[in-house]
Amino acid sequence: MKIEEVFVVKAPIQKVWDFLWNVEEMVQCVPGVEGAEMLDPDNYRVRLKVKVGFISASFAIHMKVTEKHPPRFLRSVCTGEEDRRLSTLKQNNVLELQPLADGSTQVTLKGEVSLFGKLGTLGDSVVRGKARKMMEEFSNNVRTKIEAS
């Protein structure tokens, strides 16, 4: 399942990059993140709780930065297992920043999410819809936080 989100932050590219590269801080913008811990600058441990109505699932996620070209490009891979072992999650992310003429920055977020196991069969539209919504919320949070700082 591929999702893509493009948004503009009213801030120069370096500022946006600095925010995003502070991964511990940045992942807090992901809705449902309950804690992030840096193992080394390229590896993080994240706890994520996803709620769909009264169904909830908690994942222990390992995030690994696999490629970075400051201040424009960041590629990462997330793998995670759900606490009840109902599911595993795998996500490839690409983050691209592009400075715009007016001094703001366009952020392109591309994610390929795969939810394996029971939860993957929960209902295609719900899983997709939820993933898209989380992406939207994430970009909103990122924008608000950067623009407010």
Partner 1 sequence: MKNFEYLEPRSVQEACQLLRQHGEEARIFAGGTSLSIVMKQGFFQPKYLVNIKKIPDLTGIRWDPKRGLTLGALVTHRELETSPLIQETFPILSQIEEDVANIRVRVMGTVGGNLAYAEPLTDLPQILIALEASIRVAGPDGDRTMSLEELFVDYYETSLRPDEILTEVLVPTPPPRTGIEYIRFSSSSVIDKPCLGTAVRFTLEEDLETVRTARVVLGCVAPTPLRARQAEALLEGKRYEVQRVKEAAAFASRECKPVSDLRGSEAYKREMVRVLVTRAAPRAFEKARAFRGQV
Partner 2 sequence: MKDQMIGSSVRRVDHEAKVTGRAQYLADMKFPGVCCGKILRSPIAHGRIRGMDASAALRVPGVLAVVTRDDFLNNSRIDPYYGPVFKDQSIVALDKVRFMGDPVAGVAAVTESAAEEALAAIQVDYEELPAVFDVLEARREGAPLVHEIIRVPPHGFEDLAGLRPKESSNICTHFQLTRGDVERGFAESDHVFEDVFTLPDTQHSSLEAHAVVAWVEPGGRIVVWSTTQNPFVIRTQLSNIFRVPVSQVRVLVPYIGGGYGGKLYPKLEPLAVALALKAQRPVRIVLSREEVFLTITKHAAHIRIKTGVKNDGTLWGRECEVLLDTGAYAEIGPRVAKKSGYTAAGPYRIPHVKINSYCMYTHKPPAGAFRGFGVSQSAWACESQMDIIAAALKMDPLELRLKNAYEEGDTFATGETLTNVGLTDCIKRAARAVGWGDRRPRNSSSPLARGKGLACLIKATITPSLSSALVKMNEDGSVNVYTGTIEVGQGSETVLSQIVAEELGLTMEQVRVAPMDTDVVPYDLTTSSSRSTFHMGKAMQLACQDLKGQLRELASQLYKVPKDQVRVEDGKVTIPDASLSYREILCTRFGMSGGNLVGQGVVKTSMLSPTGEKSTSAFWFLGAGAAEVEVDRETGRVRVLKYASAADVGKAIHPLGCRQQLEGAAVTGVGQTFFEQMVFDNGQLINPNFIDYVLPSLLDVPEVIESLMVEVPHPEGPFGAKGIGETGLIPVAPAIANAIYDAVGVRIKDLPITPEKIFMALQAQREGTTLEDR
Point out which residues bind partner 2 (CB under 8 A): 1, 85, 88, 90, 114-117, 120-121, 123-124
Site for partner 1 in 50-89 (CB under 8 A): 51-55, 57, 84, 86
- The C-alpha angle with vertex 44 and arms to 109 and 36, in degrees rounded to 5, equals 90
Q: Are 79 and 59 in contact (CB under 8 A)?
A: no
Q: How far is the CB of 112 from partner 2 (least distance, A)?
A: 8
Nearest by Cα to 70 from 21, 138, 143: 21
x-or-dash string of contact with partner 1, 88-127, rule CB under 8 A: ------------------------------xx-xx-xxx-
Which entry of partner 1, partner 2, none binds 12, CB below 5 to 8 A by partner kind? Answer: none
Please identify which residue in the block is written with the tokens 């811990």: 37
CA atoms of 5 and 103, how far apart (whole Å): 20
Closer to partner 1 by CB, 53 or 102: give it: 53
Q: How far is the CB of 125 from partner 1 (least distance, A)?
A: 4
Closer to partner 1 by CB, 16 or 113: give it: 113
48 phi and psi angles, rounded to 5 deg: -130, 130
Please identify which residue in the block is written with the tokens 């983050």: 95
Q: Are 73 and 95 in contact (CB under 8 A)?
A: yes
- Interface positions with partner 1 (CB under 8 A): 51-55, 57, 84, 86, 118-119, 121-122, 124-126, 128-130, 132-133
